[in-house]
Amino acid sequence: MTILITGASGFLGGRLVNTFTRRGTKVRIFARKESNLSNLDLSNVEVRLGDLSDTNSIHGLMDDINIVFHCAAKIGLGRTEDFNKSNIDGTDNLLQEAVRAGVDRFIHISSVAVMSEYLDHLGSNEDVPYAKCWSEPYTPSKIEAEKVALRYSKSSHVNVIVIRPGWIWGPGDIHTFNICKAVMAGFAPCVGSGNNILPLTYIENLVYALLLVQNKPCTSGDIFIINDDQAITQKQLVQAFVERLNPAAKSISIPFQIAYKIAHTYEVINKVTLWRLSTTLSRFNTCIASKNLKFSIEKAKRTLGFDPPIDFDVAINETIKWLYDIYLEKNSRWDVHLRGVRMPLIENTSMAHFAISNWCNARCVFCSYPDSIERIVVKLEDAIKAINALKGLGVGIISLTGGEPFLNRDIFRIAHHANSIGMLVFTGTNGSIMTEKDAYRLQRAGVRAIWISYEGPIDEVFDKNRGVPGLSQRIRMDLKWLKNAKVDTFAICVINKSITNYRKFIDHLIDIGFDKVKFDYPMTNLESSYLGFKDLGLLHYTPNEMEDVITQILELKRSKYRSFGIINPTAGLEGAMDFYKNHKPRFGCAAGYRIFYLDWNLDLHRCTMLPEKFGKVWDVSPEKLHRIDCNKCYYQGTRDYDSVYHLIDSIGISKDSIIQGDIPRAISSIINNNNLSGFKSLFEIAGI
């Protein structure tokens, strides 16, 4: 069987082409010479170029064709004659050729717009009369095109079926994209109250209906309305995107009359410019967005067995994925460097380590992730919900960890979402599965920096420690890709006994291609769900042995050996020295107060060390988050930042004191040596 699809470069036609080619169906498409077909899978597709109004280019088009899907139509704004030529004459020309070629079935894609754009419809079916008034030439041209199709259904052997979808939305729809852009910019617009039901037809539900139509026995001249089954209001649609994209977006209600006048004015301007402006703003779209348009799909259910397979929540989530993929493919990197200083200092921002996977493909000897039996990756919709909840808890710096974070292939979308709501995003990898394309996707997602784990004095020892032969060579390539993509990168090294001379280790890191490193302190036991630990001899140090290692690192940092960066703040390294000497800490731990651990089950923990769990992150109230007097471990993901959060607290106390008129307390809260360490640490960290 061979099918013909017109309008293949459009939203619906393109989706149909790719659906049929995936099924192995032979497809012929008809498109204009200037059409962009780059998004189509043309591996099993015959392309014919021409114009619907040109009978010569249509002649022979349907030879050997069994079924025609006529999706082509002129939409938007423009001259009446152009709409008539494309939509009415084009449909007539195609049907004449279908009769000549002996086509079995001709499926004409119409629109619920033919039933009226100015009136409410609650339960209206296919028997409703055609619209008698309209604001633009699209509606009357679609009415006449449908009438043409129905005439052929009565006067020829061709089985003609008419499909009336509503607002075809989802991945690929420009109107959906514009709503998302507005929400990401901080606005949640509605025309009128927003309580009107929209005539939504999710693209995959429509494609499913068309697959049914091609095979089901239908009477020639049958008309089927195809809408989603759920009654979704304008406000519900917008809020669904707000909840996922930007919970801080402000609702804006535009009275219908004002919106209509704005659209009319825009149309006049567009006409003066010979329709060179976008046609997404129009009186037609304003009416569609603001009227109650809930049509009955009972006939499609009864005759076709149509039961929309994709529900609203799934459709929203798939649309979000598409939205982020657009940004990941086209956007240049967002400016995130200055935020490294500004966010924690001015915006009083907390940090969260978010494990978006619970397993790792490497066999590293330093952690327990390789022992994980159940393999879990966080779904995008859950990650978005969790990140939005973290934002509500004051988190503005997020570290996407694992396991191996890159095993979650939504990592780029997750990172982009966090960035889009104002978070500073970091992530990491073992370096074994990253590609050159991934490096650029990290850049476009706005990732501030990525770490690559590296613990070994030479290639062979490192590869053995990681359990991945040739990994050191692979990381050399990763670093070249990341450098070309302008993604800041650093090594993370768990302090371990396979490294004895840290000067030589830095020499090796430079040879690999790194220019900075952050050292992790060895962890042999943890009580949370985090698996970044191992009871291993290479990680067991006496206090004197740790003192020697930290002394080496501090000396290398202070001497700026070979201009190589050591990211650990000086105050953090000094704090580690105090911890291993069992001295009283200079700064209190910020775990569960300003630094958190979120696991792959979306449970928020005080930290990676303690068993205390606050519950699902979206159920946690800010009142639960407070400092406790704990010095049980020196986990670098928390303790390295103790001095910074001491400074932030001091600034907060100073602000409150000024408000209360206690100037001496405000000054004393700021001017002390501990805060100088905090300032220094902040700028050391921001140098990443």
Domain extents in the chain:
2-173+193-233+293-311, 331-686
* Residue 435 confidence (pLDDT) above 90: yes
Burial class (CB in 10 A: 0-12, 13-18, 19+), 175: middle
329: confidence class by pLDDT, cuts 50, 70, 90? confident
Rounded to an integer, what distance in angstroms lies between the CA atom of residue 425 and that of residue 449? 7
The lowest-confidence range among 335-339, 402-406, 535-539, 635-639 is 335-339
331: confidence class by pLDDT, cuts 50, 70, 90? low
The whole-number pLDDT of residue 688 equals 54
Rounded to an integer, what distance in angstroms lies between the CA atom of residue 342 and that of residue 470? 40
The lowest-confidence range among 52-56, 66-70, 403-407 is 52-56
How far, in whole angstroms, is CA 583 from its chain's centroid? 46
Strands 613-616 and 45-49: unpaired
- pLDDT tens, 360-407? 999 888 888 877 778 899 999 999 999 999 999 999 999 999 889 999
The whole-number pLDDT of residue 64 equals 93
Q: What's 2-173+193-233+293-311's CATH class?
A: alpha beta
Distance between terminal CA atoms of the chain? 59
Task: Report residue 590: phi and psi, to 5°.
Answer: -100, 5
The whole-number pLDDT of residue 492 equals 95
Q: What is the 3-state secondary structure (H, E, C) of 508-571?
A: HHHHHCCCEEEEECCCCCCCCCCCCCCCCHHHCCCHHHHHHHHHHHHHHHHHCHHHCEECCCHH
Q: Hey, how many other C-beta atoms are within 10 angstroms of the C-beta on 329?
A: 11
Rounded to an integer, what distance in angstroms lies between the CA atom of residue 553 and that of residue 517? 11
Q: Hey, how many other C-beta atoms are within 10 angstroms of the C-beta on 597?
A: 28
Mean pLDDT of the chain: 91
Share of the chain above pLDDT 70, in %: 97
- pLDDT tens, 91-115? 999 999 999 999 999 999 999 999 9
* Residue 687 confidence (pLDDT) above 70: no
Query: What are 551's two structure tokens?
Result: 């002394």
The dihedral built from the CA positions of residue 308, 313, 314 and 320, taken in this order, carries a sign that is positive
Q: Hey, how many other C-beta atoms are within 10 angstroms of the C-beta on 613?
A: 16
338: confidence class by pLDDT, cuts 50, 70, 90? very low
Q: Long-range contacts of range 80-87, CB-CB < 8 Å, 24 or more positions apart?
A: 80/137, 80/141, 83/137, 83/138, 83/140, 83/141, 84/137, 84/141, 84/144, 85/53, 86/52, 86/53, 86/141, 87/138, 87/141, 87/142, 87/144, 87/145
The lowest-confidence range among 104-118, 449-463, 560-574, 670-684 is 670-684
Over range 538-543, report the average pLDDT. 94
* Residue 463 confidence (pLDDT) above 90: yes
Q: Hey, how many other C-beta atoms are within 10 angstroms of the C-beta on 266?
A: 19
Which has more pLDDT, 274 or 584? 584
The whole-number pLDDT of residue 119 equals 84
334: confidence class by pLDDT, cuts 50, 70, 90? very low
Residues contacting 215, CB < 8 A, separation 6+ = none
Is residue 580 within 8 Å of 587, Cβ to Cβ? Answer: no
Q: What number of CA atoms fall less than 13 Å from residue 250's CA on the CB side?
A: 3
Question: What element of type H or E holds 164?
Answer: strand 159-165
Taking alpha carbons only, the member of 225, 226, 179, 237 closest to residue 203 is: 226
Cα–Cα distances in Å, from 162 out to 3, 42, 212, 263, 352? 17, 27, 13, 30, 54
Which has more pLDDT, 69 or 268? 69
* Residue 529 confidence (pLDDT) above 80: yes
The whole-number pLDDT of residue 49 equals 93
Over range 233-241, report the average pLDDT. 96
The whole-number pLDDT of residue 287 equals 86
The lowest-confidence range among 30-34, 362-366, 684-688 is 684-688
Over range 335-353, report the average pLDDT. 59
* Residue 335 confidence (pLDDT) above 50: no
The whole-number pLDDT of residue 337 equals 42
Query: What are 678's two structure tokens?
Result: 């905090």
Over range 129-144, report the average pLDDT. 90
* Residue 336 confidence (pLDDT) above 80: no
Over range 288-308, report the average pLDDT. 94
The lowest-confidence range among 107-111, 150-154, 608-612 is 608-612
Rounded to an integer, what distance in angstroms lies between the CA atom of residue 116 and that of residue 199? 12
Share of the chain above pLDDT 90, in %: 73
The whole-number pLDDT of residue 113 equals 93
Cis ω on the peptide bond leading into residue 403 (within 30° of 0)? yes
* Residue 597 confidence (pLDDT) above 90: yes
* Residue 341 confidence (pLDDT) above 50: no
Which has more pLDDT, 287 or 387? 387
Residues contacting 555, CB < 8 A, separation 6+ = none
CATH code of the region 331-686: 3.20.20.70
The whole-number pLDDT of residue 288 equals 85
637: confidence class by pLDDT, cuts 50, 70, 90? confident
